Amino acid sequence: MDDDVFNKVQMLIEIHDASKYSEEEFQNYRQFFYPETGEVVSKKDFDIGWNHHQKRNPHHWQYWVMYKSDGSSKALEMPYEYILEMVCDWIAMSVKFKNLPSEWFNDNIKKMLLHKKTLFVLEQLIPYADETYRSIAL
């Protein structure tokens, strides 16, 4: 990885998921994942928060889906540094849920709308994601 990409990734690490502290996300996430006793969980509010998060954070593939006025959609190519950040997210979730990133990827790839170049890069990175998972989780 060249210095420019390294510096971009370093900056992304520092601001990763900062939008989760926003008014649009924090309360909706907290209420969904950590409801207070007797509190009614609102899937609708969570969906609003999750949509806000996806549209504010370019390390989510959904950020790169363009919806056209004719109702169709198309995947735009993700820049490399955001692909790396997304894969790091997947590794972290793999640690939490105790599964390999490749397992999650294979179970979910058909649900994703990805540009062919983004998919190519992901397919190259997934073995390294598994290796990283094994080095920190086992």
DSSP 71-87: S-EEEPPPPHHHHHHHH
Q: Tell me what pLDDT residue 20 has.
A: 92
Residue 137 sits in which domain range? 65-138
**17 found inside a domain:** no
pLDDT score of 13 more than 90: no
**120 found inside a domain:** yes
Q: Tell me what pLDDT residue 1 has.
A: 65
- Mean pLDDT of all residues in 61-68: 97
Residues 6+ apart with CB under 8 A from 102: 126, 127, 129, 130
Using one digit for the tens of pLDDT, what is the confidence trace for 79-108? 999 999 999 999 999 999 999 999 999 999
pLDDT score of 31 more than 90: yes
The model's pTM is 0.88
**96 found inside a domain:** yes
**13 found inside a domain:** no
Q: How many distinct structural domains can be found in the chain?
A: 1
**123 found inside a domain:** yes
Q: Tell me what pLDDT residue 49 has.
A: 96
**112 found inside a domain:** yes
**109 found inside a domain:** yes
**100 found inside a domain:** yes
